[in-house]
Chains A and B, each alone.
Chain A
Amino acid sequence: MATIEDLWLAALTKDEDDAGSKNRFNLTVNIDGADVFRHDFLLGWNLPGQGQGQGASGLRDGQAGLEEAKPPAPFDSDKLTNSSVRLGLRGDDAWAPKHAMVIGRAQADFTPGRILALAMETEIDRWLSADSDEGRLTMPVRRVGAGTSTTIIRRVLLLVYTDRASDVDTESDIKLQIAASGQLMLDQKITHDFRRVRAYWHFLEVERPFTRADVASKGSIHLSILGTDAWLPMTVFVFGLDTEEGRPGEVVTLSAVPKWDLGWLSTDPSEGAPSVPLPISN
């Protein structure tokens, strides 16, 4: 049992014309007929110079969002069913999500609160809109399992959010490396900018399947920067998926840093560290 006290909605908008939306994204979580969570997410926010109007909310075509909200009272994730979670849109600016995921943070017991995936849909083929000519008002987001330390991981999902403070963004490339049982299982470079108030969603291929136990035993997860444009991310989640493609059945938390406290990243040693080990989830 996990008692959930924080939720994140992560979503990636399809990269096609008009897929983005300025409307709010409505998430409901229902347990046995009672809504334990209802929230309208902004998901995206535009700073001066980022287009779409300063202060405008929403997601543009191809853009990802990652945002946290607190339920009014903690709830038991074991009571969720495939019918519990629904994602909707609060207006008629139709939105075409590509992937969506709901992440929870369990209440801390003797260890820091555990982050776990609760529900997920991938390769979504429907549009959402309050206008019935344009799409559905809401859609289900089915439950996913949190897996175990022995779940075979065949793909990795990296979710990153960079906050709004001055100069925290970067134009330098970054790299994620995962070693397990003494071997490098993932070594992926990401070459786009990491802009302020932006989230990024990356599915990353692995060299060969591995487990979280393999990472915990003679392994590591490193996030590195490959240039001197210093970067201070806000939130970094690394999940392992049990399928090579399509919707996973199990989503294993490999590392979760909901509030980054690992310092600046830069190849310039006066500005930060070129690489940091990410904590391995248990």
Chain B
Amino acid sequence: MSTIDVLWLAHLNRNVDDAGSDSTINLTINVDGEDVLDKDFGSNVGDGEAYLNGGAQLDAPFDSAALTNASVRIGIRGDDAWSPGDVLLFGHSLAEFNSHVAVPLAMESGLTEFLSTDPSEGPLTVPLRRIDPGTSSTVIRRVLLLVHTQWSGGGLFPGGDTGTDSAIQLEVFAGENLVLREEIDDTSQSDLERGTSNWYVMDTLVPFTRGEVQAGGRIVLSILGGDAWKPMVLFVFGLDTASGRPNQLVSLASRPVWGPRWMSSDTGEGDPSVDLEITPG
């Protein structure tokens, strides 16, 4: 059981014509007939692009254990039809906000329908089924990296060039074994641009567990060039399936507040690599 009082919504639009939408997205969470959340998100991202938003404290915290497969629905408030391919809802308890624990709540992948208020275009809402948060011994076969790049550099660089054209790399070590190394560069998304979100799924070299990473392993995020980058929030999850919708989604690292540091291979501008704190438990 986790008391959820901070919520995050992430989605990746299908990379097909008109999948993006500027209509407002509506999320409802129902527990035993009562809507514990009815919230709008101004997503407004294009075809094949990702969205990540949240972090605000909820008016009414709820117990994640009370959710069922029928509890969560996502809908649209306009007739600019929207076609998400993957959607993830996760949260934190405020008490654990800084302890790098993100609690996966509901997820769908491989969606194909368009949502719209126009009945001729598609359903008004679709369900998001509950996802199991797994354990430290869940076998992880894929990794999901969610990241949002700062809009403003702040400090000496207000409004600065927070996005980067440099590639980044995620590495996961289980004990001393390298189990994932993925370079992210020039994907179909607007990669790591200022004020944008990205959703990257990568295959592991070999399956691993969070427990193995906790036992002397590391999760390392690196930047491979000198174009400095400033993330805003970053989450890493492990998926238990090699393809399709996962049954379990394991939190590996969670940085709901990235902090003041930039990343760059030019050490005068930022850190070339960062060890991400591994989710405990």
Which positions in A face B, CB cutoff 8 Å?
24, 26, 28, 30-35, 38, 40, 81-84, 86, 88, 90-92, 130-132, 136-140, 142-143
The total of Cβ contacts below 8 Å across the A-B interface reads 85
Contact B40 A28 (CB under 8 A): no
Contact B32 A83 (CB under 8 A): yes
Contact A88 B127 (CB under 8 A): no
Contact B33 A138 (CB under 8 A): no
Query: Restricting to B7-36, which residues have a CB under 8 Å from any CB of A?
Result: 24, 26, 28, 30-35
Contact B130 A137 (CB under 8 A): no
Tell me whether B126 is interfacial, beta carbon within 8 Å: yes
Closest-CB distance, A213 to chain B (whole angstroms): 29
- B residues in contact with A81, CB < 8 Å: 32, 68, 70
- A residues in contact with B117, CB < 8 Å: 90-92, 130
With A81-B32, A143-B33 already in contact, the answer to whether A86 and B71 are too (CB < 8 A) is no
With A40-B119, A81-B70, A130-B117 already in contact, the answer to whether A140 and B125 are too (CB < 8 A) is no
Contact A32 B119 (CB under 8 A): no
Contact A30 B70 (CB under 8 A): yes
User: Lowest 7 A-B CB distances belong to which pairs?
Assistant: A82-B33, A33-B69, A33-B129, A142-B33, A83-B70, A83-B30, A30-B70
Query: Restricting to B122-146, which residues have a CB under 8 Å from any CB of A?
Result: 123-127, 129-130
- B residues in contact with A83, CB < 8 Å: 30-33, 68, 70-71
Contact B127 A26 (CB under 8 A): no
Apart from the given pairs A26-B119, A83-B71, A130-B117, 15 other A-B contacts in the complex at a CB distance below 8 Å: A26-B124, A26-B125, A30-B70, A32-B68, A32-B69, A33-B127, A88-B124, A88-B125, A130-B77, A137-B124, A138-B26, A138-B73, A138-B75, A139-B35, A140-B35
A-B contact pairs, 27 of them (CB 8 A): A24-B119, A26-B119, A28-B123, A28-B124, A28-B125, A30-B69, A30-B70, A32-B68, A32-B69, A32-B70, A33-B127, A34-B127, A38-B123, A40-B119, A81-B70, A82-B30, A82-B33, A83-B30, A86-B30, A88-B75, A90-B117, A90-B124, A137-B75, A138-B73, A138-B124, A140-B30, A140-B35
- A residues in contact with B34, CB < 8 Å: 82, 140
Tell me whether B38 is interfacial, beta carbon within 8 Å: yes
Tell me whether B183 is interfacial, beta carbon within 8 Å: no
Query: Restricting to B99-158, which residues have a CB under 8 Å from any CB of A?
Result: 117-119, 123-127, 129-130
Contact B125 A138 (CB under 8 A): yes
Tell me whether B217 is interfacial, beta carbon within 8 Å: no
Contact B68 A132 (CB under 8 A): no
Among B71, B123, B127, chain A packs the most CB atoms within 10 A around the CB of B127
Closest-CB distance, A129 to chain B (whole angstroms): 8
Tell me whether B225 is interfacial, beta carbon within 8 Å: no
Contact A130 B78 (CB under 8 A): yes
Query: Restricting to B29-79, which residues have a CB under 8 Å from any CB of A?
Result: 30-35, 38, 40, 68-71, 73, 75, 77-78
- A residues in contact with B75, CB < 8 Å: 88, 137-138
Closest-CB distance, B38 to chain A (whole angstroms): 6
Contact A84 B24 (CB under 8 A): no
Among A40, A130, A131, A136, chain B packs the most CB atoms within 10 A around the CB of A130
Query: In the complex the two chains form, what is the Cα distance from A181 to B77 in whole Å?
Result: 53
- B residues in contact with A86, CB < 8 Å: 28, 30, 73, 125
Query: Interface code B74-98, partner A: CB below 8 Å = 1, 0 otherwise?
Result: 0101100000000000000000000
Query: In the complex the two chains form, what is the Cα distance from A131 to B40 in whole Å?
Result: 11
With A83-B31, A140-B34, A143-B33 already in contact, the answer to whether A131 and B77 are too (CB < 8 A) is yes
Closest chain B residue to A143 by CB distance?
B33
Q: Which of B70, B77, B119, B129 contacts A84 (CB 8 A)?
A: B70
Closest-CB distance, A115 to chain B (whole angstroms): 23
Query: In the complex the two chains form, what is the Cα distance from A24 to B75 in whole Å?
Result: 15
Contact A137 B126 (CB under 8 A): no
Query: In the complex the two chains form, what is the Cα distance from A66 to B119 in whole Å?
Result: 20
- B residues in contact with A140, CB < 8 Å: 30, 33-35
Query: In the complex the two chains form, what is the Cα distance from A34 to B108 in whole Å?
Result: 12
Closest-CB distance, B42 to chain A (whole angstroms): 10
Query: In the complex the two chains form, what is the Cα distance from A227 to B127 in whole Å?
Result: 51
Closest chain B residue to A38 by CB distance?
B123
Query: In the complex the two chains form, what is the Cα distance from A35 to B69 in whole Å?
Result: 11
